[in-house]
Amino acid sequence: MGGVRWNEDDWKRASAATRGKRTEEIFTSAGMHPALNPYRMNRESRDSPANPESNAIIVGLDVTGSMGIIADAMAREGLGTLVEEILKRKPVSDPHIMACGIGDSWHDDAPLQVTQFEADIRIADQLKMIWLEKGGGGNSHEGYHLPWYFAAQHTQIDCFEKRNRKGYLFTVGDEEPPRELLAAHAATIFGDSLQRDLSTRELLTLVSRMYHVFHVVVEEGSHARHNLPAVLDRWHELLGQRVLRLKDYRRLAEVVVSAIEVNEGRDRATVARSWSCDTSAVVAHALRTQPVGRAQALLGMIRF
Amino acid sequence: MRNTAHAVIGANYGDEGKGLMTDYHVAPAGREGIVARINGGAQAGHTVTTPDGVRHVFSHVGSGALAGAATFLSRHFVCHPLLFAREVDALRSAGVPALPTVYVDDRAAVSTLYDILVNQVAERHRGNRRHGSCGMGFGETIARNLDPEFALTAADLRHGAGYLLHRLAAIRDGYVPRRLAALGIPAVDAQAAGWLASDASLQQFAHAAMQFHRATRQARPAILADHATVVFEGAQGLLLDQDRGAFPYVTRSHTGVRNALDVAAEAGIAALDVTYVTRAYLTRHGAGPLAGELPDKPYAGIEDRTNVPNEFQGTLRFAHLDLDLLARTIRTDFADALACPGIAARLDLSVSCLDQVGDAVSYFENGTLRTASPGALVDRLAGRINAGIVYTAWGPTRDTVRIRPR
């Protein structure tokens, strides 16, 4: 008996699985990190002496297979750049940033991964822990509503609770929004027992109480490349003007920062012009459905 | 399906040749066959060598896989995702690129890294009062699964990694300290504490469990009916049975025909041919009593590549067969099959390693040491237990197995 063993070397290998490995290996082999698991977890964005007027910002990135190599580039560099850019431009005061990895609630082991809210670049350590499962399935949607549900039910943010200011929630990906959140998925992903399934529109209503919700369509993703009109239709139907079209995935940071600035009341053209030449064009493309200025914003915007 | 299945049961302390006889029974059906594991877990080590020289020690996968047979891990089996992955790798390097389908009963228990840890810490703590454990956490898994709050079954793997990580953290933080205290272990050393605290090992284990889930298919025993030949493969041996062996040097499962009867009944199988397997001599790997233990191997021809010495079991130990003990053990176990309503059982015998003993083999009967030819020993034993079919194995492969005329 006893052909197999689990010995000291195995223990050492297991407990130091991420030490001395290249980041690519960690990303591809390790599974979901316990620290990013949303199951029965809450996240808080609280004011502090260093950040007395905090504002919560959530960015959820699609890490499924349809995003292909873009997922790697965006997770490894794009999110980091985004955080740096937000901290540098401060489109809102004292930003607190939380990042999410979004998968598929039907097919993936890890449909959602969430970092803490962080006020500085220390979030980079957590970004590195996001597992790029590159799953997803034959359906044409991913779990973009999972950060919505999590934000609505499992975050406490001082900007809203103390100052009545909404946080920001951006999802980023190339596929369509899903139609509903199944109660069964809420149970296994979040440990919550819902009495029934919730439609994506209901979730939007729920999360919009506390957050400004945007979606960034990555036009270079393989799904969007082939189905862009359908993808845009579905998102416009749901979010109206709050759909941002990203034609160059390396400009995610600038587009997100600009969208926040416009939503905070700055003029659309001025914001686009504030970036260097080629970036400026990408930003203008993304913002073209946004209202020109504060006055129009009040007319055309969906308000909750 | 024919309504008859085989069961292969070790009659001693393990290492009797169960892998060989499982392969022998299922090989004629090839891909149409299925092997059901009915007890134990991945601590088993069942060696199969094919006639064309492929050799593999099966631990988590049924011993019919080299012949192309599927595996069914029944609810009496303890799954071990880390060791399953390792075995799939080993099979691949042995020249089996595509593993035949592995079905798992969703009620089967799942072992965790923490069961291994507690097992190894406890066995070290016992010092020279060891129980002969393999150090793989099998018994600890059974113990933990008795507590519904910390139980983990194959069905739990359906919920994804997030749920699993949560359950594992609860086991680590809620169960392990309590279990160690119950075992009288006040504190673990720094090394074990480090392993326990490591998030990386938690993460790696959860990932392996999800991969195990994706590599297998959940099913109930009814799946057996879709196959031409069904073999229930027992692990360990009758003398290690949790109720009938010499406590505490036992394994935490029923090693006899009992679980096979249970799964067969669920699958609608009406007849069971039970092959009790022994070597031509007695072995024991691990701590515990071994009557008439010999200082060294009794025959020069004995070769064993599977039972290499290890920290937890030491080296392989030897004795001569005691026909009185063996006959009593087999008859006691087979009585369970006779008492089982709805299943017609037949008692068969297999004696292996006959090629290793030379022309004369020693054994005890009525307390006296006797010597006979290998064939005469087999006939004597078959007579004592009134065996139906008697198989003799004269080497490591199925083509050395013969049916002995009676």
Given the DSSP bridges, would you call strands A112-114 and A95-102 parallel, antiparallel or unpaired?
antiparallel
Looking at residues A35-56, what average pLDDT do you find?
Answer: 94
Q: Do B161 and A109 touch (CB under 8 A)?
A: yes
How far A41 CA lies from chain B's nearest CA (Å)?
10
Res. B284: pLDDT tops 90: yes
Determine the Cα–Cα distance for residues B13 and B234; give it in Å rounded to an integer: 12
Q: What angle do CA B16, B44, B330 make, to 5 degrees?
A: 40
Looking at residues A186-202, what average pLDDT do you find?
Answer: 96
Taking alpha carbons only, the member of B223, B253, B257, B230 closest to residue B241 is B253
State the average pLDDT for chain A.
Answer: 85
> What's phi and psi for B267, nearest 5 deg?
-85, -5
In chain A, residues 82-121 whose CB comes closer than 8 Å to chain B: 108-112
Q: Do B200 and A15 touch (CB under 8 A)?
A: yes
Domain ranges of chain A: 8-241
Check if the beta carbon of residue A163 is closer than 8 Å to that of residue A103. Answer: no
Q: How far is CA B275 from CA A89, B98, B181, B340, B390, in A?
A: 77, 29, 42, 17, 9
How many residues are present in chain A? Answer: 304
Q: Is B400 in a helix, a strand, or coil?
A: helix
Distance of CA A111 to the CA centre of its chain: 12
Question: pLDDT tens across B200-244, in order?
Answer: 888 889 999 999 999 999 999 999 999 999 999 999 999 988 888
- Residue A89 pairs in a beta bridge with none
Nearest to A34 among B82, B194, B199 (CB): B199
Q: Do A112 and B161 touch (CB under 8 A)?
A: no
Given the DSSP bridges, would you call strands B55-58 and A167-173 parallel, antiparallel or unpaired?
unpaired
- Number of Cβ pairs closer than 8 Å across A and B? 133
Least confident of A76-80, B88-92, B112-116, B307-311: B307-311
Q: Is A2 on the interface with B (CB under 8 A)?
A: yes
Contacts of B160 in chain A (CB under 8 A): 108-111, 188-189
Q: Do B59 and A108 touch (CB under 8 A)?
A: no
Give DSSP secondary structure letters for A30-65. S---GGG--TT--EEE---SS-TT-EEEEEEEE-SG
What is the model's pTM? 0.86
Quick one: what percent of chain B has pLDDT higher than 90?
A: 74
Res. A300: pLDDT tops 70: no
Taking alpha carbons only, the member of A110, A117, A108 closest to residue A42 is A117
Determine the Cα–Cα distance for residues B99 and B91; give it in Å rounded to an integer: 8
Check if the beta carbon of residue B80 is closer than 8 Å to that of residue B152. Answer: no
Contacting residues for A156 by C-beta, under 8 A, at least 6 apart: A42, A43, A44, A45, A46
pLDDT of residue A212: 97
Res. B349: pLDDT tops 50: yes
Q: Is B311 on the interface with A (CB under 8 A)?
A: yes
Determine the Cα–Cα distance for residues A47 and B9; give it in Å rounded to an integer: 67
To which residue do tokens 């891909």 refer? B31
Q: Do B45 and A16 touch (CB under 8 A)?
A: no
Q: What angle do CA B355, B360, B361 make, to 5 degrees?
A: 75
Res. B305: pLDDT tops 70: yes
pLDDT of residue A18: 46
In chain A, residues 29-58 whose CB comes closer than 8 Å to chain B: 29-35, 37-40
Contacting residues for B34 by C-beta, under 8 A, at least 6 apart: B26, B62, B64, B69, B70, B71, B72, B103, B223, B224, B227, B229, B230, B231
Q: Among 3.40.50, 2.40.50, 1.10.3470, 2.60.120, name the CATH number for the domain at A8-241.
A: 3.40.50
HSE (CB half, 13 Å, CA atoms) of B342? 9
Q: What angle do CA A22, A26, A32 make, to 5 degrees?
A: 165
Res. A304: pLDDT tops 50: no
Determine the Cα–Cα distance for residues B361 and A13; give it in Å rounded to an integer: 47
